Every structure is written in structure tokens, then in C-alpha cells.
Amino acid sequence: MAKVYEAMRRAEEERKRRAGSEPSPVAPVEWEPVVQTVTPSKSSLWKRMFGRSRPRAQRDAANEINKRRIALLQPDSYVAEQYRSLRGRLDAIAAQRPLRTLVVTSPMPGEGKTTAAVNLACVSSLSVGRKVLLIDCDLRRPQVHKTLGLRPETGLAEVLMDRATLDDSIVSVEGVNLDVLPVRSLPGNPSELLGSEKMQTLIEDASGRYDRIVFDTPAALGLPDAKVVCDLCDGLILVVRADVTSQHDVQATLETLDRRRVLGMILNGTPADQGRYGYSS
Ligand SMILES: Nc1ncnc2c1ncn2[C@@H]1O[C@H](COP(=O)(O)OP(=O)(O)OP(=O)(O)O)[C@@H](O)[C@H]1O
Ligand SMILES: [Mg+2]
């Protein structure tokens, strides 16, 4: 836990330094996970990276989507580099223990899970010879297909309800070696479907075909969905939004999920390190 809280503390310290007040004390810590800081948080930086020169009229939903698939659109960007670094860290773990199935979740909504899952899947798929599948397990507010510009005719719910096959539902993303199992219809019983035997079979089936499977999930606090998926997978990465996610929520999430599966954390939106790369806000 040390690196998690240390990273959160540094982000908070930086924010408070800018606001002219002292940082709060560090929380107690227990384990040493991977910690990867990713993505700048300031809107000015986002504008600079993703379309400042474009006329306002063009900064519509498409631009919002482009922001999220950085690794695909801007492979040389600092953000894409951070995701590659995370991929390297995960590969190092995978050399020591099974890590075919990897869940991305966060304590609360809107902390950057889908952004992280899409980008991590994209950079993972860029490894030579590696087959990667991204599964959208957010059966309530799915965003993966929108983020990647896909128009699925069928998806996870249909497969789990035996209305479509996995093969029929997997979509390939143009330009990268990435397959996606998106969400098409929203079922009335998402948690039950995600925890079903059929889901287990699906994961086993996909594990036989792909080297890495990344699962995007809803927030872990308040809904059983993320936990249900985590329990079926090898590891999970927790996305934490700098200056937004509280330590209390991180702690509560770690208590909710199986700690043995927690590999580390993505600290999303931290201002740390931006200066070194010539960014300012
Ligand atoms: N570091 C960042 N800086 C600025 N905006 C970001 C950052 N990361 C993600 N976003 C934006 O925050 C919003 C929420 O991101 P995203 O959809 O990835 O979160 P989520 O955790 O998947 O949300 P939900 O819980 O609703 O599924 C999106 O508009 C995304 O573009
Ligand atoms: Mg999401």
C-alpha cells in the first residue's frame, strides 16, 4: 500500500502547494503494488494535446471520445508512454504469476476506468505477436464501443444469454491487433449475468485464444458487478483519480475486493512529472 498512498499524498501535496497550504499526513500502509501515474488533469493540457487548434464547433462528442483513446491516436504522446510503462510493469508480474485476465476498476464512477482499460488494451495489443481482447463488463453504462467508434450488433449480454456466440460478438479494432467484446443491449440483471457460469465459460474460452484479456467494469463501491468479475480474473488494477478519490474510498474498495488480486493502481490525472516533460498548466 505504501506506493499507493505515497502517490496520492504527492498528488495532494502538489495541489496544496499550488493552493498555498500544507499537505495532510500520510495514511498507514501495508503492501507494495505497482503504481503508475497517468494522464494530465488540467483542461488546458488536454486542449493543447487534443485539439486546441480545432474550431470550437468541431469539439463535439468525437473529440471527447478521442481524448480517451490516446494510445491509439497519439502513440508518441507522454500519456501513451505512461501506459507503455504500465504494460511493462504488468509484463514483469506476468513473468512470475499467471496474468492473462486483468480487471480495471475504481471506487467511484467517472474516475477514468474506461479510459485506462481502453488505453492499456491498446498498448498491450501493440506488443509483437500478442493477442489482446478488451471486454466491456459495464452492462449499465457501457462506453467502450463508443470510445473505439464501434457499432456492435451484438455483445456481452447476448453471449451470456445464449443469444449470440462469442465469435459473432467480437469486433476487431482497425489499425491495432485488438479485439473487443462490446456491450450492445443492457440486461435487467447485470450482476447475475456477470457472475454466471456462462461468464466463467466465456472467460475460459477467451483465455484459450488471447494472451491478455482486459475487463472494463463499473465502479467497485455500491455495485457488486466489479467484484463479481474480479473474482473470476487473475488480477486487477485500481484507477484512482488524483484530488478526487478519497483514501477512505480506496480503503473501502480494497476491503470489498479480493486483495490478493490487486496488482496496483493507476493514479489518474496527477500533475506530478508534467514539468519534466515540458507540460505546464
Ligand atoms: N486524466 C484525465 N484528465 C481529464 N479528463 C479525464 C482524465 N481521465 C479521464 N478523463 C475524462 O473523464 C471522464 C470519465 O472517464 P471514464 O469514462 O474513463 O471514467 P469511468 O471511470 O469509466 O466512468 P464510469 O464510472 O461512468 O464508467 C471522460 O470524459 C474522460 O474523457
Ligand atoms: Mg466506464
pLDDT tens for 210-265 read: 999 999 999 999 999 999 999 999 999 999 988 889 999 999 999 999 888 899 89
Calculate how far, in angstroms, residue 103's C-alpha sits from the geometric centre of ligand 2: 12
Calculate how far, in angstroms, residue 187's C-alpha sits from the geometric centre of ligand 1: 23
**Sole residue written with cell 502547494:** 17
From the CA of 118, give the closest atom in ligand 1: 18
Give the residues surrounding ligand 1 with Cβ less than 6 Å away.
39, 41, 46, 64, 67-68, 106, 109-115, 138, 141, 143, 218-219, 268-269
How far apart are alpha carbons 120 and 86 in whole angstroms? Answer: 8
Indicate which residue's Cα is closest to atom 9 of ligand 1: 112
How far apart are alpha carbons 142 and 113 in whole angstroms? Answer: 11
Indicate which residue's Cα is closest to atom 8 of ligand 1: 112
**Higher pLDDT, residue 153 or 41:** 153
Calculate how far, in angstroms, residue 86's C-alpha sits from the geometric centre of ligand 1: 18
- Nearest 10 degrees: CA dihedral of 173, 178, 179, 181? -90
pLDDT in tens, 126-179: 887 889 999 999 999 999 999 998 999 999 999 999 999 999 999 998 777 899
How far apart are alpha carbons 217 and 105 in whole angstroms? Answer: 6
Strand partners, 37: 267
pLDDT in tens, 56-68: 444 455 555 555 6
Domain regions of the chain by residue span: 36-277
Record the pTM: 0.81
Instruction: State what percent of residues in the chain have pLDDT above 90.
Output: 53
Indicate which residue's Cα is closest to atom 1 of ligand 1: 269
- C-beta of residue 141 within 8 angstroms of C-beta of residue 250: no
Q: Strand, helix or coil at 226?
A: helix
How far apart are alpha carbons 251 and 249 in whole angstroms? Answer: 5
Query: Is 281 a residue whose pLDDT tops 60?
Result: no
**DSSP annotation string for 77-136:** SHHHHHHHHHHHHHHHHHTTS--SEEEEE-SSTTSSHHHHHHHHHHHHHTSTT--EEEEE
Domain 36-277: CATH class, spelled out: alpha beta
Give the mean model confidence (pLDDT) for residues 1-10: 65
From the CA of 147, give the closest atom in ligand 1: 17
